[in-house]
Structures are given as structure tokens and as C-alpha cells.
A and B are shown apart, each in its own frame.
Chain A
Amino acid sequence: MPRLDPSEPKGAIEALTAMWTIRRFEEALEDLYSRGMLHGTNHLSIGQEAVAVGACGALDEGDFITSTHRGHGHSIAHGADPELMFAELLGRDTGYCGGRGGSMHIADVGAGNLGANGIVAGSMTLSVGAALSQHLLGSSAVVLCFFGDGATNEGSFHEALNLAAVWQLPVVFVCENNQYGMSMASDLSTAGDSVAARGTAYGLEGVQLDGNDLPAMFEGVANAVAAAREGHGPALLEAITYRYRGHSKSDRNLYRTQEEIEQWRTERDPIARFEARLLDEGAVDQEAIDTARQAARERIRDAVKAAVKAPEPSVDVLEEAVYASR
């Protein structure tokens, strides 16, 4: 059973809260960065929240995700604690990785988050292995593999899809097509009609989804997850979405127009659209929406407050940190 049902008021509010939590989390990162409290780099997914929340909401407890360099949303949608994420990004001992990973490597393996990955397409072949081990261990868990449009031109994308397909493993590949790699437009970098169309090569029905439409995202992924769990093998989904912010901190947005960004923000924002839809359908009232928004804001504020107080890791940990011991 999916752990979220956005067609019910309770599930809808949970989904809305999760999307706001992701957005507020990343806005808080921008704030911390501008105040000189955050070093390194990070990649923001503001504008893409419905992909993470819709997809992860379609999973069951015990299912796995693999994530990308733009993975804060995936982690939060899969149940990560924002305080521990902030702590990680702030390089604190209490962070998910003890301050050793940072933005691109949030992982909580025990909770089914097999980790964000700094290598484009790097987690795609890992997702196949995770699905294989579940198969060998007799588990019915499904692995949801997030990757970006840029990953589809890596060899790993093709090798992973082929291997998952020939072995009929329960992997749901979710491409977050946010239109650009770092600067290169997806349609300039990617031959063929679409990412989804590439599924044909591996005997998969590639499906395009509106990644800024939460219920559509949820439904598309839930169908693929159910099929994978029933033994029908992998799926390739392409979520069409858009990142409002630059690739990373160094991005001057020279490869796209302000008009294009504004158009996505004003006409297709996933949170605004979902709120309008809920009000339109009468599923929830404005007060419930305001409460969800406020809850996310407070959760993030509290998380930042706690995380900044956390201690920095001791250099002493490094020697014992490289290898697991038994």
C-alpha cells in the first residue's frame, strides 16, 4: 500500500506539508549560505517538489530510494529529519553522515534511503543491485531510482536499464527532467523523442508524467510500483519539471531567459497548483492549507535552530571512518 493517498484530505495535507517542508528547507539553505554559515556547494530542487513527494508517497514502508546530487527533496519526501539534514549540510557531528558527506551524500540506509550520489547516473546501477538483493532475499521491496535528464546520456543509464530489464527486477526509474543539465538544454543533449521513449529499447513502456502535478506524479509512480512489486519488472518514468534556481551557486542563468523561469513559476508551480486544486475540489479549506504551510515553516525554523547548535566533528574520527570493522 502506498503510504500516502493524496486523494484523501489527510494524505493531501501530508503531501502539501511535505512539499512546503522541502521548499522551506532549501530556502533556509539559501539564507544560511548568504549569511556565510554554509560552505561548499548545494543543488536546489525548488520547483520540483511534486516529483519527490508524489514518487516517495507511492512507496510502501520498507521500499528503497536512491537519490541524486539534487536530492534534498527526495530525502525529506522519504522521511528524513530536516534537523539531521541541516546538521549534515552545516558539517556537524550529528548530521546524517557525521559531517562527512554534505549536501550531495545524504543517506539513511536503515530508513531505506540508499543515498544521494554526486556522480550523475551513479546510483542507477546501485538501484539494480538493491533490487536484486531484495529478490534474492525473498523481499517484496521495490527500489525507486531518481535521476536527472543529464544522466540519460551516461552509459550507466543504459547499462542499468538493460540489466534491470533482462533480470526483470523491481526498480522504478524516475527521471526528473528539469529541462537542463548544468547549462545544456535537455533537447540539445538528448537524441530521440524523449527520455521516456528510450524505454522502448529495453522493452519498457516509458511513461511521461507531469512532474509538477502531484496527483499525476503519485498515480504514475504508484502504478509502476505496484507492477514492479507484482513481478512485472522495471519501469521508466519521465517527470517533466523545472528548477527555478541555478544548477548550483556559480550559476548565472546565461542559458535560459528570466521569462522562461517566471512562466514556470507563475503558471506551473507544483505547490500553488496543488493548493488551487484542493480548494477547487473542496477537499480541504484555506485554513488547512495555511496550517500546513505554517507547520512546514515552523519545522524548518526549529530544525535550523537545533542544527546550528550541534557540535562539529572531531578530526579523531577520520582514522576509523574509512573502513567498516567487524
Chain B
Amino acid sequence: MPAADTTDRIEGPVSTEVQTTTYAKAIAAAIRTAMQDDERVFMAGEDIGIYGGAFGVTDGLLEEFGEQRIRDTPISEDAIVGMAVGAAITGTRPIVEMQFSDFVVNAMDPLVNQAAKLHFMYGGNVEVPMVLRLPGGAGTGAAAQHSQSLEAWFAHVPGLKVVAPSTVQDAHDLLFAALLDPNPVVVVEHKLLYKREGELVARATAGDSPATIGDAVVLREGTDLTVASYSLNTHKALEAAEQLAAEGTEVEVVDLRTLRPLDTETVIDSVSRTGKLLVTHEAPAAVGIGAEVVAAVAGSRAFDYLLAPIVRVCGRENPIPYAPGLEKATIPQTEDLVEAMRALAAEDV
């Protein structure tokens, strides 16, 4: 049932023309449209109501949709996610905002043992259409328990889907795709992306979103080497590629967008053309998403085209520290990528 006309109360993007807005507002616009279109959609999370969410994503939604559908919860991550699973299997479509992605560790049972398993384990007689938004990542001086990039944990679990949009448009479109999916979808959102501006064509309905879960995209074409990344690091890769271009090296940047299911074909195709691969993410390299990308390439037809060893530029193998210099040193910076790309480009072929 469509909600009443609330156009005059909507802040942020409503136009379906191209406009410039932030990643956070693009997410909010998608939530707003989905809630107007489908009364089964509701939100739950800590301080998402009057406070507007720790990062302001849900600002104004309480006024617009009321406390029945924008539900402030106690600080009970286990119950929030478990509740969402129970709601999803009985006819509603919860969107849960985890205040910081780190806190989802308190909800691993409902996410991994329940949400990911029920459809399979109950013989397909139930669906778990829920969306779990996880603000993660470092760079805010919040230290070890508020800065992690845990996406590989979730991508490791059959039954979950994981998306990690980097652009404003994809943040908007993939949220719709997540909502339309009959499975639990984890949306990895880097905190430093929320205020980042970009172009957005706001969709009039969820069904207008062209994004599909499981499709990577080539954001920049190049012939000399391929960089695969996602979320914030995609932007760092694009910035680094820009610098390399000034030096005459053309870098192709693949934005993975979805981490499970992983679109390895787009990377394999790119590497088959460039012959060189660099993978970058903020999470530690060990047992990370990058390792999966590298394994896929090494085990594919692209192996025969490789002209140099594959390079990973990832987070250091330590918890995120507090001191600015230590935090910066822990996560890959654009200059680190420039250096690594330059070295890879110079590998003698």
C-alpha cells in the first residue's frame, strides 16, 4: 500500500534527474522510497530515530514514517538481528542499521547461524529477506573496536550475500537490490564514504534500480594493469590511477561492488587484457576478499596472460590503532597505491 503523498516533507534527493548528493543521502533516499512503496519495510537500530543514526543516515525518517516503522532499539545487537530474522520469515522486510559494524560481532549467531541457514536448513520453505547495514572502516580515530572491516567474515558464509558499494549511485541502487532480494544481504558501508559527494539519479521505485547483486563494474578503463577493489579503496585506487595516468600508465579499475557472490569474471577478463593485477582493500590481507580474487585469477585463463606477480595492498595485520600516524600506517593510503602501481607497471615484461 503506497503511503500518503509526503513529497513536501522529503529532504534530499527526490528528483529523478542527475544531481549531486552524498552517499549517506543516497542511501536515505532509497530507504525512503522503499518505505513509501512497501509498507512491509521497516527499520530497526540503535539511535536511528530522533538521533538520526550515528552517522546521520536516518535523519528525518522518524518524522516521516513514525516510530512503528523507524524503530529505536535497546543496545542489544543479538536481539536486533535475531528480531529481524524472525520478522523477515513472517512477512515483513526489515532494514537493520548496526551502529558500528564492529558491534555485529555481538550478533553473529542470528546472522550466521540463523539468517544464513534457515532457507537451506528448513528445506527452502522459508525466505529471509532482510538487509543489514554495517558502517565500518577506519580513518576516524575511533580505534580498534570501532574501525574494522569485517566483510570477509560474512562473505565466507554460504547463505549470506554481501555488497560493498563505493559510489553514491551504487549505494542507492544496491540498497534497492538488497531489499528486493529474498535473502539476507549485508551492506558494507565505509564511514568515510557517507559525506562523499557524487552523482545520483534517484529511482522512483525500487524496481527501477538497474543494479544487480553479483556484478562488478569497470570504473576506469586502462591497458597497463588492473586494480580490483571495493568500497572506499575503490576511490583511492581511482585517485592513484589518475596520478599514474599523468606518468603515462593506464590503470583499469574494477569495482567489485558485491563480495558474495563475487564477480570474478570481470576481473579475469580485465587481467586477461592487462596482464597485471593489484588488489587492494582496507581489511587485512590474510584470508581476505583479495585472496579470493587472486585465487580466482590464478586459477583461470588469465593465469596465462600474467606478466608479473600479483600484488596485494591491504591493511596491516594489526588492530586499528588510535594515534593518527599509526592508524594511517595501518590502512592503505592513496600514495601507497601509487607506489605499488608504479612498481607493478615497471615490472619487466
Contacts and interface: CB of A to CB of B under 8 A. Distances in A.
A322 B160 CA distance: 9
Given A108-B125, A166-B74, A115 B118 contact: yes
A133 B71 CA distance: 12
A322 B118 CA distance: 9
A114 B113 CA distance: 15
Interface string A154-182: 01100110110011000000000000000
Given A129-B82, A160-B82, A323-B119, A119 B114 contact: yes
Interface core residue of A134, A137, A163 (most chain B CB under 10 Å): A163
A101 B122 contact: yes
A228 B65 CA distance: 26
Contact of B109 (A110, A137, A156): A156
Interface residues of B, number: 47
B90 A114 contact: yes
Interface string A89-107: 0000001111111000101
A115 B79 contact: no
B88 A129 contact: yes
Nearest to B84: A129
A128 B83 contact: yes
A130 B79 contact: no
B94 interface: yes
Interface string A134-167: 1011000000000000000001100110110011
Contact of B82 (A97, A118, A128, A133): A128
A61 B158 CA distance: 34
Contacts of B159: 322-323
Interface in A111-132: 114-115, 117-119, 122, 124-132
A315 interface: no
Interface in B94-148: 94, 109-110, 113-114, 118-129
A322 B40 CA distance: 24
Contacts, number: 153
Contacts of A117: 114
Contacts of A325: 182
B186 interface: no
Given A64-B90, A323-B159, A115 B122 contact: yes
Contact of B120 (A64, A110, A133, A321): A321
Interface string B61-92: 00000001101011010111111111111111
Contacts of B128: 324
A136 B68 contact: yes
A96 B79 contact: no
A256 to B, nearest CB: 29
B58 interface: no
A326 interface: yes
Contacts of B94: 129
Contact of A109 (B81, B89, B110): B89
A-B pairs, top 8 by smallest CB distance, nearest first, are A125-B82, A129-B86, A97-B123, A126-B86, A159-B79, A129-B83, A129-B87, A324-B182
Interface of B: 40, 42, 68-69, 71, 73-74, 76, 78-92, 94, 109-110, 113-114, 118-129, 158-159, 161, 180-183
Nearest to A162: B74
A60 to B, nearest CB: 16
Contact of B40 (A122, A137, A162, A326): A137
10 contacts: A105-B121, A109-B125, A115-B126, A122-B110, A126-B83, A126-B89, A132-B87, A159-B74, A324-B119, A326-B180
A303 to B, nearest CB: 18
Interface core residue of B114, B123, B183 (most chain A CB under 10 Å): B123
A108 B110 CA distance: 19
A125 B83 contact: yes
Interface of A: 64, 66, 95-101, 105, 107-110, 114-115, 117-119, 122, 124-134, 136-137, 155-156, 159-160, 162-163, 166-167, 321-326
Contact of B91 (A66, A119, A133, A155): A133
A177 B182 CA distance: 36
Given A130-B89, A137-B91, A323-B161, A125 B79 contact: yes
Nearest to B123: A97
B77 to A, nearest CB: 8
A124 B86 CA distance: 9
Contacts of A100: 120-123
Contacts of B182: 323-326
A107 B248 CA distance: 61
Given A101-B121, A114-B86, 18 more contacts: A100-B121, A107-B118, A109-B89, A114-B89, A114-B126, A119-B109, A126-B89, A128-B83, A128-B86, A130-B86, A130-B87, A133-B88, A133-B90, A133-B91, A136-B68, A137-B92, A159-B78, A167-B71
Contacts of A129: 82-90, 94
Contact of B124 (A98, A115, A130, A167): A98
A126 B127 CA distance: 14
Contact of B92 (A64, A136, A166, A322): A136
A109 B158 CA distance: 21
A90 to B, nearest CB: 14
B320 to A, nearest CB: 26
A126 B85 contact: yes
A95 B125 CA distance: 12
A134 B86 CA distance: 10
Contacts of B123: 95-101, 107
A66 B110 CA distance: 14
Contact of A122 (B68, B113, B124, B129): B113
Given A114-B86, A126-B114, A322 B109 contact: no
B79 A107 contact: no
B89 A119 contact: no
